[in-house]
């Protein structure tokens, strides 16, 4: 490592010469990292989440654009528009299927869990009765 007479201009690893260092307030990457492009799903979801004000039964209410569009679609279907009715029934069916899927995914006890709990219950009952633990171990190994 080189040093000048007074030792303040040290040059080496992590210490570039003063002439080539960035000036104060100047970034080494002035443009920064380029922002990523949004995909179509993100753009659509953002557009549907924007709030709008609607008049419903003489009252002003703020809802998302998605809610407003669904209300209009349902109203058209109720007035007899067959295309709107088809769309509403298809959307309702999809919503019901999604709810059923979410309910079936709720954590429940699997067969293994049930077996472990039954085994634990038997062992606890045997221990509380003063039974021999070796007998319960043998029974478990038979399974």
For residues 68 and 108, the model is more confident at 68
Residue 113 has pLDDT above 60, yes or no: yes
**Residue 47 burial class via C-beta count within 10 angstroms: exposed 0-12, middle 13-18, buried 19 and up:** exposed
Does residue 16 fall inside a structural domain? no
Backbone angles phi, psi at 22, to 5 degrees: -70, 140
Using the Cα atoms of residue 50, residue 42, residue 99 and residue 85 in order, give the sign of their dihedral: positive
Taking residues 75-87, what's their average pLDDT?
95
What DSSP state is assigned to residue 23? P
pLDDT digits (tens, 9 = 90+) for 24-76: 888 788 888 888 888 999 999 999 999 999 998 999 999 999 999 999 999 99
pTM of the model: 0.49
For residues 122 and 30, the model is more confident at 122
For residues 142 and 37, the model is more confident at 37
Does residue 140 fall inside a structural domain? no
Tally of domains within the chain: 1
Q: Are the C-beta atoms of residues 23 and 17 closer than 8 Å to each other?
A: no
Q: Residue 87: give the domain boundaries.
A: 40-104
Residue 64's beta-bridge partner residues?
51
Does residue 97 fall inside a structural domain? yes
Does residue 20 fall inside a structural domain? no
Does residue 87 fall inside a structural domain? yes
Taking residues 101-118, what's their average pLDDT?
78
Does residue 95 fall inside a structural domain? yes
């Amino acid at each position: 490592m080189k040093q000048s007479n007074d030792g303040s201009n040290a040059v080496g690893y992590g210490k570039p010469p003063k002439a080539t260092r960035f000036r104060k307030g100047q970034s080494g990457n002035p443009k920064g990292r380029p922002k990523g492009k949004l995909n179509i799903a993100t753009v659509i979801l953002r557009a549907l989440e924007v709030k709008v004000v609607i008049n419903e039964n003489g009252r002003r209410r703020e809802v998302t654009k998605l809610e407003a569009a669904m209300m209009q679609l349902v109203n058209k279907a109720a007035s007899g528009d067959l295309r709107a009715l088809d769309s509403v029934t298809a959307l309702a069916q999809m919503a019901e299927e999604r709810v059923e899927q979410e309910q079936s995914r709720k954590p429940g006890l699997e067969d293994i869990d049930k077996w472990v709990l039954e085994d634990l219950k038997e062992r606890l009952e045997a221990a509380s009765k003063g039974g021999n633990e070796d007998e319960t171990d043998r029974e478990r190994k038979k399974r």
